[in-house]
Amino acid sequence: MERARTHPRPVRPGATGGTDRDRRSVREAGECVRRAARAGERLAGMEQEELDRLVEAVARTGRDHAGELARLAAEETGFGVAEHKRLKNLFAARRVYAAIRGMKVVGPLGEDRAERTWDFGVPVGVVAALIPSTNPTSTVLYKAMICLKAGDPVVFSPHPGAVRCVLRTVELLREAVERAGGPADALTAIGAPTPEGARALMGHRDTRRILATGGEGMVRAAYSSGTPAIGVGAGNVPVCLHPSCDLAAAVRRVMDSKTFDNGLICAAEQAVVVERSLADRARAEFVRQGGVFLDRAQRAALGARLLRGDGAVDPALVGRSAGEVCRLAGLTGVPRSARVLLAEEDGVGRDHPFSGEKLCPVLAFYEEADEEGVLARCVELLRYQGAGHTFALHAGDRRVVERFARAVPASRVVVNTPSALGGIGATTGLFPALTLGCGAIGGCSTANNVGPMDLVDRKRVAWGRRELADLEGDPAGDGLV
């Protein structure tokens, strides 16, 4: 493990003040880090095969308790669909595990005999894992596996609205790790989380890496903590239905994606963008498959309720079904059979409430004059929110795919697939992950679907090949021959 920093970071204002709950949370964060650091010393001495046994134990436990943890998450948070949460738990326990099972992450990684160098993977140490209320149990399973694979202990900081289901998940995984021969404190969690406690965890002198999945404010706090962070916030995914697509299949995929767990996955579509020549057929196909286009009064009522004063989505609507959204927003005249609500939009920004991320089955619908206008609108939507995240495209023309992929400010472009599931690697060949990096354009340290290799340091061993005298007059020294 990396040795402790010589000088502790300065304590941030409020880190030791605030309410009794804040002070308790800060103390608990410090104790969790101390326990995790001790466990990390044991992990650092384990070979990859030993770590793999811990990862397998976590995967098996996640698989065996997928339904229980899904029900707990749905009941506690009130978000989404319990059956879909079960599928997300299984995605982590099966798909993520299958992807990392054969990976070599710690120890010798490779040798370049020509250059006489070796690469070694070294655990980074204690990881602070921020857990959102939208995907709590599946995110714990996923982060526990990729961190243990890399030999890193984890301290989980749950969203206050998902404490019980996160603590139950961590309890089960700790038992599994211990049975497999590892230290239970390789996985710990703050039981009384507050923003102050999360900041204390992220800024602790022994925290080495932050995995931040959650709201924009907490992700920004992660990047400003002074600890290297991998974070992802809003994903405002535009989806282009190109005239060359199979329209019925494209709409089905969008509808499946937007209704999966009631739209809680950050890679889910947020705005449909079509050319004028396809617009009427697209509207008809959405209606045929259970979509409802809101009239002017309905748009105004939902738009007024959708966002809070700070521009964030009203949490009362997050993860609710289309029918519940209508009830909460006071909409009348919408069929009870509605699967997704669609609102016609003509602009982007705070004055256009449907143009941002909507964590529920609501889509903006844009009609543009031509392909150039569609591309420009998609870029505008991504730059407004979700820069660097994900773009979805349905097209049968490879040239169109290449053109859009080159132009859009997104780290992943998913083609002819439900974006929510394609972005996380469930229906595509992308690495299966529940933390999706947004690259430099999104202010993120990586553009990857985050995995174990993002959680180790590469140590390099290099043998000398030349002496000082050999460098004088070396024609390769300046690249010229």
**Hey, which residues are catalytic here?**
266
Q: Which two three-digit tokens encode residue 402?
A: 């290449």
Query: 444 near 231, Cβ under 8 Å?
Result: yes
Query: 259 near 339, Cβ under 8 Å?
Result: yes
Q: Which two three-digit tokens encode residue 69?
A: 């943890």
* Cα separation, 243 vs 270, whole angstroms: 20
* Cα separation, 393 vs 240, whole angstroms: 5
Strands (E), 193-268: 207-213, 229-232, 237-241
Concatenating the DSSP letter of every residue in 457-469 gives: EEEEEE-----HH
Backbone φ and ψ of 140, nearest 5°: -65, -45
CA proximity to 156, closest of 74, 15, 36, 60: 36
Range 248-280 burial, b when 16+ CB lie within 10 A, else e: eebbebbbbbbbbbbbbbbbbbbbbbbbeebbe
